């Protein structure tokens, strides 16, 4: 990781030009095509993701809130960094190197996204920022850091985290997450976006007309009562099959008597074997493509992560107010999360990704926007 002192000096020189004059003001990245990314120190969140289409119309494709305080107190983690272990941990328990650990649990008796006050509600340090001209290009970037102490959320180990956001003139937002620890700890840190490529401009916004492709032949089946991962199942012949492009709403009705939508974790890149490694691919490969036919906006997601979670915001029912006063309803946005394996190793078929001293955790994802 880069020197914190050098980064701090660079940050002090450049912060004003990126718009972040106070801790709650967004850090603004821009490229030459009119694309903008607004970042917050709170949760290292992508607050706004302004993407133009071929006609020059720009919309915010990221669900979120108008101010940092709403991220600290709100129920949505859209665009934010999740950790220490994103996803569900059954019973809030795991064992590591012969020791049992109990985490904070929610109403369902499980731990979600690490439990307690997760990384999405923490105040990250802005370590470095540049409005452009990085490495001889017109890239615009920002680096945020967080120290997660031993015992944080009842996880072992002092963990130092760094996330770098880079906006390129190829309309790519590149997210690089890295972490080191002084003791062994399960880890699954990632950005948790909720996209709507048409923009969430009304309470009736939907992603059911978005067309999705996922580069996966297998998904991780779960117990319908507990959500516990059980085994790998082939996507062929199931509504989970997005190996060919389909509208998200085309087969979503097949879930009407269960979870009423997609909440599926896919093993990426044609792999049929789970691994405790942090990488499903190296370098990053194409994991998913999302297209909004009416506007022509499209998104490719490339990643090194071994899995991708598809979640169609099944539980949204106008429970909270987002940007512009919109109260999003069911299926208003779609989460496409590049993650590690689920459940912190509680199911032997899915070994936990464990970060040990001397190793570096990495989660690399690229959101590439273009027109079709």
Residues designated catalytic? 192, 337
Phi (first) and psi of residue 15, to 5 degrees: -60, -40
Query: What is the signed CA dihedral for 283, 366, 359, 129, rounded to 10 degrees?
Result: 130
Token pair listed for 63: 């669900």
Provide the phi-psi class of 320: left if phi over 0, else alpha when psi is between -120 and 50, else beta: beta
**152, 189 in Cβ contact below 8 A?**
no
Q: 8-22: string of b/e by CB count within 10 Å (b at 16+)?
A: eebbeebbeebbbee
Of residues 139, 209, 208, the one with CA closest to residue 174: 139
Dist. CA 280–CA 265, nearest whole Å: 14
Phi (first) and psi of residue 216, to 5 degrees: -150, 135
What is the sign, positive or negative, of the torsion defined by CA atoms of 200, 214, 297, 211? negative
Q: Which distant-in-sequence residues (6+ apart) come within 8 Å of 35 by Cβ?
A: 50, 51, 52, 167, 171, 369
Kindly list the distances between the CA atom of residue 195 and the CA atoms of 79, 89, 131, 239, 292, in Å, as whole numbers in the listed order.
9, 25, 25, 21, 11
**232, 349 in Cβ contact below 8 A?**
yes
């Amino acid at each position: 990781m880069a020197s914190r002192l050098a980064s701090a000096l660079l940050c002090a020189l450049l912060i004003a030009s990126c718009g972040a004059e106070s801790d709650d003001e967004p850090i603004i990245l821009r490229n030459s095509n009119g694309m903008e990314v607004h970042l917050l120190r709170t949760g290292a969140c992508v607050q706004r993701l302004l993407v133009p289409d071929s006609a020059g119309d720009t919309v915010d494709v990221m669900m979120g809130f108008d101010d940092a305080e709403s991220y600290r107190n709100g129920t949505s983690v859209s665009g934010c960094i999740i950790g220490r272990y994103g996803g569900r941990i059954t019973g809030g328990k795991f064992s590591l190197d012969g020791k049992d650990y109990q985490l904070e649990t929610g109403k369902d008796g499980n731990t979600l996204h690490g439990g307690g006050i997760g990384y999405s509600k923490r105040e990250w340090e802005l370590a470095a920022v540049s409005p452009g001209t990085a490495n001889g290009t017109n890239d615009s970037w920002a680096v945020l850091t967080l120290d997660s102490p031993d015992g944080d959320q009842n996880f072992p180990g002092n963990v130092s985290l760094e996330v770098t956001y880079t906006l390129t003139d190829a309309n790519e937002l590149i997210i690089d997450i890295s972490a080191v620890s002084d003791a062994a700890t399960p880890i699954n840190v990632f950005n948790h976006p909720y996209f709507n490529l048409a923009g969430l401009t009304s309470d009736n916004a939907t992603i059911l007309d978005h067309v999705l492709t996922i580069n996966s032949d297998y998904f991780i089946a779960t117990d319908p009562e507990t959500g516990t991962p059980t085994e790998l199942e082939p996507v062929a012949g199931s509504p989970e099959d997005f190996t060919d492009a389909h509208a998200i709403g085309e087969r979503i009705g097949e879930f009407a008597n269960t979870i009423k939508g997609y909440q599926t974790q896919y093993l990426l890149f044609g792999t049929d074997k789970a691994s405790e490694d942090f990488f499903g691919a190296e370098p990053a490969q194409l994991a998913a493509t999302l297209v909004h036919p009416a506007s022509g906006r499209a998104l490719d997601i490339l990643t090194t992560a071994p899995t991708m979670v598809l979640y169609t915001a099944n539980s949204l029912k106008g429970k909270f107010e987002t940007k512009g006063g919109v109260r999003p309803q069911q299926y208003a946005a779609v989460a496409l999360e590049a993650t590690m394996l689920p459940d912190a190793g509680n199911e032997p078929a899915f070994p936990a990704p464990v970060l040990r001293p001397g190793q570096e955790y990495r989660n690399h994802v690229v959101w590439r926007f273009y027109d079709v």
